[in-house]
Chain A
């Protein structure tokens, strides 16, 4: 069964350091999402891509976060500098954009970030 790949699974860093997360969506899925999930809460959308274009980054803290999907396939989410409040699970998801059905979002296993 096709999966969304994410790495690293776990990252511990000190505040003010840079950190990067990588996501490889399911082949053929044009839409890619990055969500942030703080412990005990529901995921919140950070950025949404359609192919290589950003569709929605209204909730992305652009002073420290950046995201790219240069060739419309895999994607990188970067935080620089990391702050204590960035400790969270970062979830990547992808979705097939065609047809008129459910087009369910498939999530990766997530990257859990701890900022010390």
Chain B
């Protein structure tokens, strides 16, 4: 089974509007971390936001917020007030802290976001 699933291959969003990117995950570990990265066309992976499995509050970083629903195993990214520079690929990733997982980061397939002026 896929550990990280991003069901939206691509999305259009109007400039200044909000957009939600879906991410579901699969793990039997109790301790894990969830990450979102942005990858513009230049190719570099840029860290956006982190949510720990024991964090009770949803993470926020500027215009980015993470809607963490632990029971549903979902960690959706919300980008508010979209800007043209937000056009990029977005990847959800999970790091399981168990010894077997070895702290590696597993990525989903990504969602391409295109912001329209």
Contacts A105-B47, A110-B44 given; does A42 touch B103 at CB 8 Å: no
Bound state CA distance, A45 and B94, in angstroms?
Answer: 13
Could you tell me if B102 and A42 are in contact, using CB atoms closer than 8 angstroms?
no
Interface string of A88-116 (1 = CB under 8 A from B): 01010101000000101111111010000
Contacting pair A109 B43 (CB below 8 A): yes
Which size bracket describes the interface of A in this complex?
Answer: 20 to 34
- Does A104 contact B44, Cβ atoms closer than 8 Å? no
Are the C-beta atoms of A48 and B42 separated by less than 8 Å? Answer: no
Determine if A55 is an interface residue (Cβ-Cβ < 8 Å). Answer: yes
B68 CB-CB contact with A under 8 Å: no
Interface residue? B73 (CB, 8 A): no
Q: Does A21 lie at the interface of the complex (its beta carbon under 8 Å from any beta carbon of B)?
A: no
Q: Is the CB of B104 within 8 A of A56?
A: yes
Question: With A41-B109, A42-B91, A102-B33 known to touch, is A31 a contact of B103 (CB < 8 Å)?
Answer: yes
A45 touches B42 (CB 8 A): no
For the side of the interface on B, what is the size category? 20 to 34
A44 at the interface (CB under 8 A from B): yes
Contacts of B37 in A (CB 8 A): 107
B106 at the interface (CB under 8 A from A): yes
* Residues of A36-76 contacting chain B, CB below 8 A: 40-45, 48, 55-56
Q: Assess whether B110 is in contact with A102, with CB atoms less than 8 Å apart.
A: no
Report the nearest A residue to B4, measured CB to CB: A42
In whole angstroms, how far apart are the Cα atoms of A90 and B107 in the complex?
Answer: 15
In angstroms, Cα B106 to Cα A95, docked, is 14
Known contacts: A102-B50, A105-B47. The answer to whether A43 contacts B102 by CB under 8 A is no
Task: Establish whether residues B102 and A55, one from each chain, have CB atoms under 8 Å apart when the complex forms.
Answer: yes
**16 residue pairs A–B, Cβ–Cβ below 8 Å:** A31-B103, A33-B105, A41-B109, A42-B4, A45-B106, A56-B102, A95-B103, A105-B47, A105-B105, A106-B47, A109-B42, A109-B43, A109-B44, A110-B44, A110-B45, A112-B43
Q: A residues bordering B, Cβ < 8 Å?
A: 31, 33, 40-45, 48, 55-56, 89, 91, 93, 95, 102, 104-110, 112
